[in-house]
């Protein structure tokens, strides 16, 4: 270890009076030293439990195997908020969507210091309940349960536009100057889910059309050819087996607007596309979870189980990819959703490289910092 890194970790020890290891306590103290640039690390967002105001942003040093579990609190001397759902890195900043607190927290990517809390409020002051986030051309775009997509300027860190879409939009992806938002209608399940994806012109920031894709669309990704992939979740809340509509995996051709059901993929949930392969969480309540791999170019399922080394996993909550290496991160929940879950890093060949155990309650997003 070089002298700069030794000094960095000794400074952390002095500031926190504890050793940061994978067994460290959750009450992290303040950090005075900035992390050394060049250290490869993970930022891990954990939701906490709804209404408990216990979301955490953790920082895991990959080389040292050491973690600051409540990194945001250690840097900023306050909590992150209630139910952090999503985060992205864009430029020098991290944007964290905190649904229960109805804010977007903007954080310096290097230091972890808060730059601004952006209140996500409707005109009457009620919460928008933001959900997911994407970036494009100097802006970030946030879906919210008030049936809108909000645009935030990344220089001023001010909201500069809002467009109405369908019911309770969730997933969002941007490709070829088009913003795609999945209108789930998830809060309207008693009266009927939505079944559309909105297409928004990124230049004019107006909705151009809605495309019917199936009941309860939730997650979106794009391949390099511009095709849009959607996992639709069906009516999993239905109490009537005769009217049960199962989840499905769909592809939208953006030119013809033809929607194709990919029959080989069953019980899809969240997914990520890397190198034109879709890594899809497949599973449901009471059934085993796994990750299947679909080749977007060959248009075929190439693996019915991504994990090739026998690693056993429980509930896989979310999935992410290292854009540079193709490493796949699987976020695993505790069985009762109230104890800390873990993050597992797999090589692109499906072999476990390392695990960040008991990182936070309901881990939901990972960013690789290098």
At residue 35, the pLDDT reads: 53
The pLDDT of residue 366 is above 90:
yes
Is residue 36 domain-resident? no
Is residue 260 domain-resident? yes
User: What's the structural domain count of the chain?
Assistant: 1
1 pLDDT band, cuts 50/70/90, is very low
14 pLDDT band, cuts 50/70/90, is very low
190 pLDDT band, cuts 50/70/90, is confident
pLDDT tens digit sequence for 194-226: 999 999 999 999 999 999 999 999 999 999 999
- Residue with structure tokens 């944007």? 95
The pLDDT of residue 92 is above 60:
yes
Is residue 5 domain-resident? no
At residue 370, the pLDDT reads: 81
Is residue 166 domain-resident? yes
Is residue 269 domain-resident? yes
pLDDT tens digit sequence for 255-266: 999 999 999 999
What average pLDDT does the segment 305-329 reach? 97
At residue 237, the pLDDT reads: 55
The pLDDT of residue 110 is above 70:
yes
pLDDT tens digit sequence for 127-166: 999 999 999 999 999 999 999 999 999 999 999 999 999 9
| Structural domain for 318, as ranges | 41-369
The pLDDT of residue 94 is above 50:
yes
At residue 241, the pLDDT reads: 79
What average pLDDT does the segment 52-73 reach? 97
What average pLDDT does the segment 282-295 reach? 90
What average pLDDT does the segment 224-236 reach? 96
At residue 9, the pLDDT reads: 38
Q: 20 or 148: which carries more pLDDT confidence?
A: 148
Average pLDDT, the chain: 91
Q: What percent of the chain has pLDDT over 90?
A: 82
At residue 287, the pLDDT reads: 77
CATH of the domain at 111: 2.130.10.10
């Amino acid at each position: 270890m070089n002298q700069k890194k030794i000094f960095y970790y000794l400074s952390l020890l002095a500031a926190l009076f504890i050793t940061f290891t994978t067994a460290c306590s959750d009450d992290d103290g303040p950090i005075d030293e900035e992390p050394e640039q060049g250290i490869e690390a993970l930022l891990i967002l954990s939701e906490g439990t709804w209404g408990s105001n216990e979301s955490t942003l953790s920082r895991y040093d990959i080389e040292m195997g050491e973690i600051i579990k409540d990194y945001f609190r250690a840097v900023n001397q306050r909590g992150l908020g209630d139910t952090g759902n999503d985060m992205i890195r864009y430029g020098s900043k991290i944007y964290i969507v905190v649904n229960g607190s109805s804010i977007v927290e903007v954080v310096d990517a290097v230091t972890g210091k808060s730059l601004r809390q952006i209140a996500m409020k409707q005109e009457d002051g009620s919460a928008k309940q933001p959900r997911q986030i994407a970036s494009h051309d100097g802006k970030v775009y946030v879906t919210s349960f008030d049936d809108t997509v909000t645009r935030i300027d990344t220089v001023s860190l001010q909201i500069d536009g809002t467009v109405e879409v369908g019911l309770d939009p969730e997933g969002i992806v941007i490709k070829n100057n088009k913003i795609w938002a999945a209108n789930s209608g998830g809060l309207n399940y008693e009266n009927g889910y939505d079944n559309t994806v909105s297409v928004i012109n990124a230049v004019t920031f107006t909705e151009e059309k809605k495309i019917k894709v199936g009941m309860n669309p939730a997650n979106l990704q794009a391949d390099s050819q511009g095709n849009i992939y959607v996992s639709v979740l069906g009516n999993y809340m239905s109490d009537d087996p005769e009217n049960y509509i199962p989840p499905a995996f769909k592809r939208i051709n953006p030119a013809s607007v033809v929607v194709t059901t990919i029959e080989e993929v069953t019980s899809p949930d969240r997914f990520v596309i890397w190198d034109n392969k879709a890594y899809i969480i497949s599973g449901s309540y009471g059934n085993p979870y796994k990750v299947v791999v679909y080749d977007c170019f060959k248009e075929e399922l190439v693996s019915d189980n991504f994990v090739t080394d026998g690693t056993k996993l429980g509930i896989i909550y979310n999935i992410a990819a290292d854009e540079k290496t193709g490493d796949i991160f699987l976020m695993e929940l505790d069985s009762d959703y109230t104890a800390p879950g873990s993050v597992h890093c797999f090589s692109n060949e499906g072999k476990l490289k390392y695990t960040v155990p008991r990182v936070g309650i309901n881990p939901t997003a990972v960013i690789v910092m290098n």
